[in-house]
Chain A
Amino acid sequence: MIGRGVSKRIKSIKFAFLSPEEMRRLSATKIITADTYDDDGFPIDMGLMDPHLGVIEPGLRCKTCGKKVDDCPGHFGHIDLAMPVIHVGYVKDIKNLLKATCRECGKLLLTDAQAKEYKKDMDRIGDSGGDFLDVMLVTKETAKDASKRQSCPHCKAVQRKITLDKPTTFREDGHKLTPKEVRERLEKIPDEDLIPLGIHPGIARPEWMVLTALLVPPVTVRPSITLESGDRSEDDLTHKLVDVLRINQRLRENRDAGAPQLIVEDLWELLQYHVTTYFDNQTSGIPPARHRSGRPLKTLAQRLKGKEGRFRSNLSGKRVNFSARTVISPDPLLSINEVGIPVETAKELTVPIRVTSYNIDTIKELIRNTVNPPEDLFYSAGVNYVIRPDNRRVKVTEKNAETLAESIDIGYTVERQLVDGDIVLFNRQPSLHRMSMMAHEVRVMPYKTFRFNLAVCPPYNADFDGDEMNLHVLQSEEARVEAKVLMRVQEHIISPRFGGPVIGAIHDYVTGSFLLTFRDSKFTREQVIKILARLDYEDLPPSRVEDGIEYWLGKELFNLALPKDLNIEFKASICQHCDDCKKKECDVDAFVHIKDGKISCGTIDEKAVGAFKGRILDKVARDYGSDRAREFIDTITKLALGAIMVRGFTTGIDDEDIPNEAKIQIEDLLKNAKREVDELVSAYREGILEQMPGRSLEETLEVEVMKVLGRARDTAGQIAGKHLGLENSAVIMAKSGARGSMLNLSQMAGSIGQQAVRGERIARGYWGRTLPHFRKNDLGAEAKGFVESSYKSGLAPTEYFFHSMGGREGLVDTAVRTSRSGYMQRRLINALEDLKVKQDGTVRNTADTIIQFKYGEDGVDPSRSIRGDAIDMDDILLEVLGERYWGLYTGEREKALASYGTQEKDMLSISFEEEEVEEE
């Protein structure tokens, strides 16, 4: 049925074999000698490089068709094999055929009635719209049924057991069948018996699966390359064909000379090996054929298969023009929408510009600029090529620039070099989601890296330890508009994955906003001017005076970034989650309250502006649109960097210094914990340990010990943490969410804790012990991988070893996880790539059948949803009720919602926060 947007439908595809006769008919020449070129470098006639097979050298003409290099498609040749060999690609089919047919008369091992029944089955499925695969399913059943028969229903001959000795040797009751015998058997199968087996005898006779002639691909398929030294290097396929020809020749000579059967058979098998590896050099069961250098040859199957094969590497994916790749580096002064591009790149990449009456003068100027750039400018774009209306391309050179500029007319097109503001696509692999490829505006800059704002690192998952990124220049107006509307960075601030921001403050930006806004951090006039220097603002906020000293509050500076009517209230990342929240009177200034775009209290940190978590960011992007959101991010990044630079920020190992008494306290604590473990162990030994339900005694011990040691580590961390206050740089980073965690700090200052392999205390190594340093069957803390030391104090040798064991497992896990999830995602994408949401909200495939009646069953776009819901009830209530709703907003919203009669499900149950994955 044709219709519903289907313009063409493939009715059928035919797969057939080439018969030896057809190969000879196809062949331009027979190949008999294994030599390629003679001493003068001319191809030998009837050799593998015979000029009848096509031309690869420019200037020569093809001896078959008379055309020149790019016009001659190449022509096949053929090799007549001295003895038949089995085609590896068809061993399975040959096996099935041999099993399903009689060894004597060649007929299908089914009664005529049975055969008819199966044939009817096939017709029925074919007629009722079943496709090729369904019909083939029946033929498989037919073959299976026939193979079961012990004797032929037609000639009564008793059948013997056929086995396949991989890859290409057939045996009958253990006796070897030569390919010649196999071929004879296949020849005997009558045409009418092939149909129930799924072979159309008109186009494919089974004996053609055993080769008597081999098709030689044209030289254009296997070109030889001339090295600089003048030596010729042949293609892998040619090498393989040389092998085939050589053995073929020897086999023929030996056979004709009447050599002993054994020698002939050996050569025959060798020929089989070469023909097999010519088709597939990764056939299991035989060693791959190798080049002289030891590298396995790339033969026919290897050219097509896998990631580097023709399909995935050359057909599904291609190399493109107008693209660039280089190392990336950060530039916080760029807008998130921009990308910094080296001059060298900008001069190479071009955009086609149509010459019109409006721009002809500018373009003439551009062409002149190409060779005579204005001296007072850092960069000026030129023109690389001029394309005349007849599509002839002329390169702009020093000599012809002036004449070209004069010859330009309306209807010409010029390829203009990049200028600031051009729209380009920017991409970092692996491209795991749509934010891996976004549209940026060009900024031509000195130096040789691509540069962008650090707030855009999270969606690309980029860092600057040597990462490279790709850039593509759009070549049509439509593409540019589409990219600008749909792909610009600012349109991707909110991720469709979880409906929160993926672009936002990271690392120093978070630290900076913390330093700017924490408590009543003050800044002098000089500092304020430094911070705001890069900013666009109308008025300096009013200063305050205390004791005759003029100062500004950091919070008031931050207000500059906020929309004037923004209202929001939430708990910052530094929140200590007290049972009884003091709200505005919070001890650590963690309760953020913003009214009419003014912070009255609270600290701006990761929860406010961070990528993945930023609440203010989220609200600005949703309520004020992407333009305002971009402006917001651009402003806060500059503010935060201003603040951190004006104050200065550093961290070092002395940030983890703790007073001596704390050290002693931790030491005591760990000693106690170890004693507790020893007590547990002796309780276990004496059999007085109380067993946990559902656990063995050993397991109970392990659980108890882990509990004790885990608690010890945590307490050690707490003791250390008590001496690490918010004036400590490392703590600022951990608490504000910039980088690191309190656990990291307590492992540096306090104790590293239990190391685990496979989620259990370390138990592997020697008999009954982990290392020779311990007694056998020691179940104590140290013997099973408890690391008492801190990173700062250094590890004991045994501890170091255990730590390495745990660390190794972590590395292996990540490696395995990435490769596995990558493959999983590839399969998922291949399965879903052609689905799309139609105008009526249904999800359909290319056949226009419905996959989902409503996208996601609720029709909600996750990137526009509020934590999974289409409507943000809190926000609406806040908007409508204003002040009355304030107090209820964070604390008692459930009560408030109930009193307004809404039956909204608990939104808190859907976690909106992105789990942060640490990776180095």
Chain B
Amino acid sequence: MVDVNVMLHELVPEHTLLSEEEAKKVLEGLKIKVDQLPKIRKDDPVLKILEMVEGEITEGRIIKVTRRSESAGVSVVYRMVVERVK
């Protein structure tokens, strides 16, 4: 289905799908609602790969992105899956 696994590329940070419980914990920790998170599109190449592992990822699920940061070493960011970004 996909020609290239973008997740193996060195410039693509680590993406993981949060389970519903983990998602709830994250939102409670930040004291926010899901739609206040930054967004990631459902047709993002990374999500296509993730979907091959996790099965269909519906709108509103949360993706955890762990990446290298020049200032903090490692930074963790959460993104909400959306069909289309405004």
Contact = CB atoms under 8 A, between A and B. Distances in A.
Contacts of A854: 72, 75
A857 B71 contact: yes
A390 interface: no
B35 interface: yes
Given A849-B37, A853-B76, A858 B69 contact: yes
A849 B37 CA distance: 6
B31 A840 contact: yes
A857 B75 contact: yes
Nearest to B38: A850
A858 B35 contact: no
27 contacts: A130-B84, A130-B86, A131-B86, A133-B86, A134-B84, A840-B30, A840-B31, A842-B30, A849-B37, A849-B38, A850-B30, A850-B32, A850-B36, A850-B37, A851-B38, A853-B76, A853-B78, A854-B72, A856-B71, A856-B72, A857-B69, A857-B71, A858-B69, A858-B73, A858-B75, A859-B72, A860-B71
Interface in A852-874: 853-854, 856-860, 868
B77 interface: yes
A257 to B, nearest CB: 58
B86 A853 contact: no
A848 interface: yes
Contacts of B84: 130, 134
A296 B32 CA distance: 55
Could you say which interface size class chain A belongs to? 20 to 34
Contacts, number: 45
Contacts of B30: 840, 842, 850, 853
Given A131-B86, A868-B71, A853 B77 contact: yes
Contact of B86 (A134, A840, A857, A859): A134
Interface in B30-56: 30-32, 35-38
Contacts of B83: 128
Interface in B8-38: 30-32, 35-38
B75 A853 contact: yes
A284 to B, nearest CB: 32
A858 B86 contact: no
A857 B37 contact: no
A849 B36 contact: yes
B17 to A, nearest CB: 18
A856 B83 CA distance: 28
A643 B83 CA distance: 71
Contact of B36 (A128, A130, A848): A848
A380 B69 CA distance: 59
Q: Return the 10 tightest CB-CB contacts between A and B, nearest first.
A: A858-B72, A858-B71, A857-B72, A857-B75, A857-B69, A849-B36, A857-B71, A856-B71, A853-B77, A850-B36
Contacts of A853: 30, 75-78
Interface in A102-157: 128, 130-131, 133-134
Contacts of A850: 30, 32, 36-38
Interface in A669-700: none
Given A853-B77, A858-B75, 16 more contacts: A128-B83, A130-B84, A131-B86, A840-B30, A840-B31, A842-B30, A844-B36, A848-B36, A850-B30, A850-B32, A850-B37, A853-B30, A854-B72, A858-B71, A858-B72, A859-B72
Nearest to B39: A849
Nearest to B73: A858
Contacts of A856: 71-72
Contacts of A842: 30
B86 A849 contact: no
Interface of B: 30-32, 35-38, 69, 71-73, 75-78, 83-84, 86
Nearest to B33: A4
Contacts of B86: 130-131, 133-134
Nearest to A129: B86
A840 B37 CA distance: 15
A275 B35 CA distance: 48
Contacts of B76: 853
A492 B78 CA distance: 35
Contacts of A4: 36
A130 B84 CA distance: 9
Q: Which of B35, B78, B83 has the most CB of A within 10 A?
A: B35
Nearest to B71: A858
B70 to A, nearest CB: 8
A850 B36 CA distance: 6
Nearest to A851: B38
A718 B72 CA distance: 44
Contacts of A868: 71
Interface in A794-823: none
A236 to B, nearest CB: 40
A851 B39 CA distance: 10
A853 B66 CA distance: 12
Contacts of B32: 848, 850
Nearest to B83: A128
Contacts of B36: 4, 844, 848-850
Nearest to A845: B36
Nearest to A905: B73
Contacts of B75: 853-854, 857-858
B46 to A, nearest CB: 19
A50 B84 CA distance: 55
B25 to A, nearest CB: 15
Contacts of A857: 69, 71-72, 75
A848 B35 CA distance: 10
A510 to B, nearest CB: 33
A131 B32 CA distance: 23
Nearest to A868: B71
A133 B86 CA distance: 9
Interface string A383-416: 0000000000000000000000000000000000
Nearest to B74: A857
Nearest to A125: B84
Contacts of B37: 849-850
Contacts of A848: 32, 36
Interface in A823-859: 840, 842, 844, 848-851, 853-854, 856-859
Nearest to B86: A131
A844 B33 CA distance: 13
Task: With a 10 A CB-CB cut-off, give which of A844, A854, A859 has the most chain B CB atoms.
Answer: A854
Contacts of B72: 854, 856-859
Interface string A874-892: 0000000000000000000
A451 to B, nearest CB: 41
Contacts of B77: 853
Nearest to A3: B33
A500 B30 CA distance: 33
Contacts of A134: 84, 86
A853 B75 CA distance: 9
Nearest to B31: A840
Nearest to A1: B35
A130 B38 CA distance: 17
Contacts of B73: 858
Nearest to B59: A128
Nearest to B36: A849
Nearest to A847: B36
A130 B37 CA distance: 18
Nearest to A910: B70
A4 B31 CA distance: 12
A119 B69 CA distance: 46
Contacts of A851: 38
A856 B69 CA distance: 9
A847 to B, nearest CB: 8
A134 to B, nearest CB: 7
A854 B72 CA distance: 10
Contacts of A130: 84, 86
A3 to B, nearest CB: 9
A799 B31 CA distance: 70
B73 to A, nearest CB: 8
A587 B31 CA distance: 62
A868 B72 CA distance: 10
Contacts of B69: 857-858
